[in-house]
Structure 1
Amino acid sequence: MAMSSGPLVAARICAGDGWQLDPAIIGCGPAPKWMRLRVVTRRQGLGGGYDGRPFGIVRSVGGDVPVDYKGIYDEFVNLGKILAARGLAVTIVIIKPPYDTGAMGPFLAGVTAANPSISFHCLPTAEHPPVEDARVPNPPPANSAPARRFHCLPPAEHPPVEAARVSNPQLVTSWPALRLPGHPGGGLLLVVDFLCSVAVDVATELGIPAYCFFTCCAETLAIFLYLPVLHAQSTATFRDMGEELVRVPGISSFPAMHCFKPLMDRHDAVYRAFMRVAPYRCRSQGIIVNTFCSLEPRAADAISVGLCTPPGLPTPPVYCIGPLIKAEEVGVKRGRECLAWLDTQPKASVVFLCFGSRSLFSANQTRELAIGLEASGKSRSDALLPEGFLERTKSTGLIVKSWAPQRDVLAHDEVGAFVTHCGWNSVLETVMAGVPMLTWPLYAEQRVNIVFLEKELGLAVPVEGYDKEVVQADEVASKVSAGREQVLQREWGWGSVRGGVKGHAPRRRPEARAGRDQRMARVGVET
């Protein structure tokens, strides 16, 4: 598997009618109607069967695992577990980040100890090329703000796709050492993180197939695939377009200002890097997506029939294999305090707030958040909170200062709403738990996710002002108190706020949770 903030998967498969990824590798045989692990395009078999124990590789670029991009690492580990359960040996190849807090080693060792079929191999920190080599043609003027920003980028802030590109030679050199003993020669399958899609060149050089693994939703995938078309349609940047609607096949139109922040300026280094690697994704043998077709049928179908593919490029098969939801860590006792506290609360009375592993709030925003929660009658370190806040709210709220097991918290009957940054992992966990959302997007694709959650699924209401410097306390109070009731009482597109998969009959929490556990078991993830 290959990750940029993520991974590559490899399988040693006999030659037959060609290299194809069999959905049965990922699933557990025939799947129920709710989630068939179907290739959204025409399904093709392996032809030659398996020979021996397949081999997997995952490459990862990005920050130190327990802090930056941890959710993406978790998804690749979950994918690795599923492959390992099917008899594959998986190696996760990580491009060492330019900084190291010392937490990566213990994290990787813990994963390997709990999953002997998953191992890790670290490539050296990639040396970034001169700025001129990292650009695509037609760079911005040398004295422009985008050009100055790019020239001043330290290595840790260069686009991840560039780190993947310059590390390709190291991956080729390391390849012989990564082969399984007793299995010389070819027969490897590469699964690369979407931001590492330039590793498709490595697969071509080695004569093996490459698949891309996309850890976000299918709607976001549609936008990334369609980006070269949008680029050709206009010379304006998304920032300049403001409220003008962006139209992408298979998804609801959205204001340009809601696009991913790194893509707001077409002269930005990240934007240009995404444009540069777009063809690699389409030249892969398939794209694996952490979603399920009944959640995003329009986007999945639009991608599968080529509506999002730029002219002149092939449309790869799409494999919807989600939801990949992290299982409880073996032997981890963190977070038990908050679960015990939830047991003492009335049903659906608790508003849970969590903003992911990379989010940072200013001291001013933290105070406004605390004041708003206190005013709402629902409650949420010490130095940033108003004086006496913890004492005044101890009967109505709980501050978790270390680690909260989000999946287990959301599954609790006592949780009535979730204030979330709309990261895709959080969205999947919330949908599977049947909990309504109050959306507060912060970075990456999260502003696009809220359009999907609010307009198409009707599972969320926004916290107004999230795009301003500070969301005021009165907005927090009004949305947490009134918004929670609005979410709970509204008739949603799924039949009920605690309904299951779209189009199915409404289900209340016990049934929804039981269905969720069955679904997770069917994709091979512990519950």
Structure 2
Amino acid sequence: MEKETVVLYPGMGAGHLAPMVLLAKQLVRFGFSVTIVTTAVPHQPSSTNNTRSDISSPNHSISFHALPAVSLPPVQNKHPICLKYDTIREYNPKLLEFLTSLSAATKIRAIILDFFQTDAISVARELEIPVYLFMTSGASILAVWLHLPVLHHTIEKSFKDMAVADEQVHVPGVPSILACDMPVSVHDRDSEMYQDRIRNYSQMTEADGIIVNTFEALEPRAVAALKDGRCVPGRRMPPVYCIGPLIGGIDKQKESQGMHECLTWLDLQPKRSVVYLCFGSEGAFTPEQIKEIAVGLERSRQRFLWVVCSRDDARNNFKQRSEPDLNSLLPEGFMTRTKDQGIVVKSWAPQIEVLNHVAVSCFVSHCGWNSALEAMLAGVPLICWPLYAEQAINKVLLVEELKVGVVMDGYDKELVRAEEIEAKMRYLMESEGGRMVRERMVSSREKAVEALAEGGPLDGELRAFLKDTGNAKKMIATASTELTDLHILHQSCKV
């Protein structure tokens, strides 16, 4: 019997592609073949090929198809997020052409779009393919995104103006959020970027369902608010499927090729003695901030593993980074003075292996959702230092709701001082309060492991989703037949 195909259409960038590949592997377990359709990020070097080779083992049931590149007219001073939305819309004809040819060769069970790709819902509707969204973040962020169009009509001020007055934003199922913690992309209601976001979030309810990379025991309040429809009052709320936590595993093939130097160093450190600092694929700091981190680390006297990325412009997180020059970035003599205390790695480290190493005790993180889930499954508490996008909202969940981390005060200022960095590391590593945070993270880890168990919540949610895709396909076919019958009846009445 021919396998049915599920088409995945990830957002642009490795951070959106990686969870999609992990979702693909789950779908393959249930007997489906998967085609992942990729696009190029405008004005950025492509990392798709590296991501594909890094996270997808040879599997004949998973294939990739790169849509032909599109070209946009040059526009000066346009924000990268707006360019992404423009590019998504330009790709729609090419996506339609590919899906048309694919549907002639195989049965398409459904198409799953990244939540950024809502402009492609119309393509699936044109071909009568059930269409679902994949939320690479958690249920709390989904609740915020879905509720933003409601806030748009009930709050007249921009979030940037609310931030000046320290006002809060209230979303069903989510702890109160300071307006300054809302993503910069929605701070100014008069901006093109804000308008693009509101349109994107308004379209999300048009999908047949929404998959979320979380598990209900982690975010019960947010999941309940979503399923009750409280986030979109007066509108249809699509079914929500908590198919998480989806994170990668340890790469056995790379492991056999030799361990990364940082893992060799970790093997020599005492149990639960190391602070790990890493800020994601796009998280980089100015030279001034890097020096403050170095001073804070040295003063704390904590063992550390620090992944250093740098950039010149403090506000440009989308700028391509060059390989950091540690000699110019770090304080004079830092490497010599701390040679028995820590190790500095340029740009990248094998994060899952690091977090699961017995020597690692806490994680200074930008609070990207993938990193938060990886820390949770490793049982490693967080020092939360959000940088961009929805990371400050993730911080609210991790610190105030789950209480599995502490905040790096000053993250929203120009510079976090060395004194704060030293104090937070000492607190989490040495204090009674830090011990309680670690215990709560261990409890969260147990829930995450239960979610991943065979026959557990992840399997149950995935089965429910696949059952509903079949029902949605039947409903679309029935509706199409009924429309054809009505058309024939209408034509006969004319005669």
Return the TM-score normalized by structure 2.
0.81
How far does residue 95 in structure 1 lie from its aligned partner after superposition?
Answer: 1.9
How do 1:19-418 and structure 2 match up within 5 A?
A: 52-62=2-12, 69-99=13-43, 101=45, 103-108=47-52, 114-128=58-72, 152-154=76-78, 158-179=82-103, 181=105, 183=106, 187-242=108-163, 243-311=166-234, 313-333=235-255, 336-378=260-302, 379=304, 380=306, 381-401=326-346, 403-418=348-363
Q: Deviations over 1:153-195 (max 9, x none)?
A: 45855343332223212211222333474x3xx6431110001
User: 1:211, CA displacement in angstroms?
Assistant: 0.4
* Structure 1: stretches of 5+ with no match in the other structure: 1-50, 63-68, 131-150, 505-511
Cα offset, 1:203, TM superposition = 1.1
In structure 2, the gaps of 5 or more residues are 307-325, 460-495
Residue 432 of structure 1: how far off its partner (Å): 1.5
For 2:434 and 2:368, the matched residues in 1 are separated by 25
Query: Whole-Å Cα distance in 2 between the matches of residues 416 and 519 of structure 1?
Result: 28
Name the CA distance, whole Å, in 1 between partners of 2:124 and 2:183.
29
1: CA distance between counterparts of 2:203 and 2:432? Answer: 41
1:434 aligns with 2:361: no
Q: Is the 8 Å Cα contact of residues 296 and 420 (structure 2) preserved in structure 1? A: yes
Per-residue deviation, 1:342: 1.6
The 8 Å contact of residues 55 and 180 in structure 1, kept in 2 or not, is answered as: no
Give secondary structure in 1 for the equivalent of 2:9: strand
In 2: Cα distance, 1:345 partner to 1:522 partner: 36
The match for 1:458 is 403
Q: Equivalents in 1 of 2:56, 2:248: separation in Å?
A: 15
- Corresponding position of 2:364: 419
Decide whether the 8 Å contact of 2:244 with 2:451 is kept in 1.
no
Asked if the contact 1:288/1:320 (under 8 Å) is kept, the reply is yes
Q: Does the 8 Å CA contact 2:8/2:113 hold for their aligned counterparts?
A: yes
**Aligned mates of 2:259, 2:387 — CA distance in 1:** 24
Cα offsets for 1:103-143 (capped at 9, x unmatched): 5345436666623222111223334489xxxxxxxxxxxxx
What is the CA deviation profile of residues 43-81 of structure 1, one whole-angstrom value per residue up to 9, with x for unaligned ones? Answer: xxxxxxxx730112222342xxxxxx4232110010011
Q: 1:395 to 1:357 in 2, by over 3 A?
A: same
Q: Is the 8 A contact 2:11 2:17 kept in 1?
A: no
Cα RMSD, aligned residues only: 2.7
The question of whether the paired residues in 2 share the 8 Å contact of 1:98 and 1:155 is answered with no
TM-score of the superposition, structure 1-length normalised?
A: 0.76
What CA distance in whole angstroms lies between the structure 2 residues aligned with 1:187 and 1:118? 14
Alpha-carbon shift at residue 398 of structure 1 (Å) = 1.2
What's the offset of the Cα at 1:227? 0.5
Higher relative contact order (CA 8 A, sep 6+): 1
The number of residues matched between the two structures is: 434
Does the 8 A contact of 2:218 with 2:444 survive in 1? no
SS class of match (1:344): coil
Matched position secondary structure for 1:491: helix
Q: Percent of aligned pairs with the same residue?
A: 40
1:281-321 residue CA offsets vs partner (Å, 9 max, x unmatched): 1111100000000000000010001000143x211000001
Of the structure 1 ranges 84-93 and 295-304, higher mean CA displacement relative to structure 2 is found in 84-93
Checking the alignment, whether the CA contact within 8 Å between 1:75 and 1:325 is kept in structure 2 is yes
SS of corresponding position for 1:114: coil
State the alpha-carbon separation in 2 of the partners of residues 209 and 455 from structure 1.
Answer: 37
CA drift of 1:429 comes to: 1.0
In structure 2, do the counterparts of structure 1 residues 110 and 176 end up closer, same or farther at CA, with 3 Å as the change threshold? Answer: farther
The range that moved more, 447-456 or 263-272, is 263-272
Q: Report the AA paired with residue 236 of structure 2.
A: P
- The amino acid of 1:273's aligned partner reads D
Deviation for aligned residue 1:518: 4.8
CA contact (8 A) 1:366 1:385 kept: yes
